[in-house]
Amino acid sequence: MTAKELHLSLQKSKETGELLAVTYTDDEHRIVEVLWKKPPAKTLTDEEIKELSEEHLDMDWQTGVIDFARAILKKAQEK
């Protein structure tokens, strides 16, 4: 019986976006280590959204909506 040649590769999971270190032979693949995980989505609480809307929606409606959207994105990035 001959020894199987073992290889190492990096693969990105299609489902999770994780970067995986994988060992493999011709007939077997095994995840060795998860090298990187996609960070969880950033969310805002209802209270945070309410506070931002009070700060930004009291001005001209169109400008207020744009400012409000920017404020939400900025707040989410801070988390």
The residue among 65 and 60 whose pLDDT is bigger is 65
Give residue 58's pLDDT: 64
Average pLDDT of the chain is 77
Whole-angstrom distance, CA of residue 66 vs CA of residue 69: 5
- Write out pLDDT tens, residues 3-38: 678 788 888 888 887 888 887 777 777 777 777 777
Per-domain boundaries in the chain: 7-36, 46-78
| Alpha-carbon distance values, 9 to 14, 17, 28, 37, 69 (Å) | 15, 16, 13, 17, 42
**CA-based R_g, the chain, Å:** 23
Residue 79's identity, in one-letter code, is K
Please report, rounded to a whole number, the percentage of residues in the chain having pLDDT higher than 70: 86
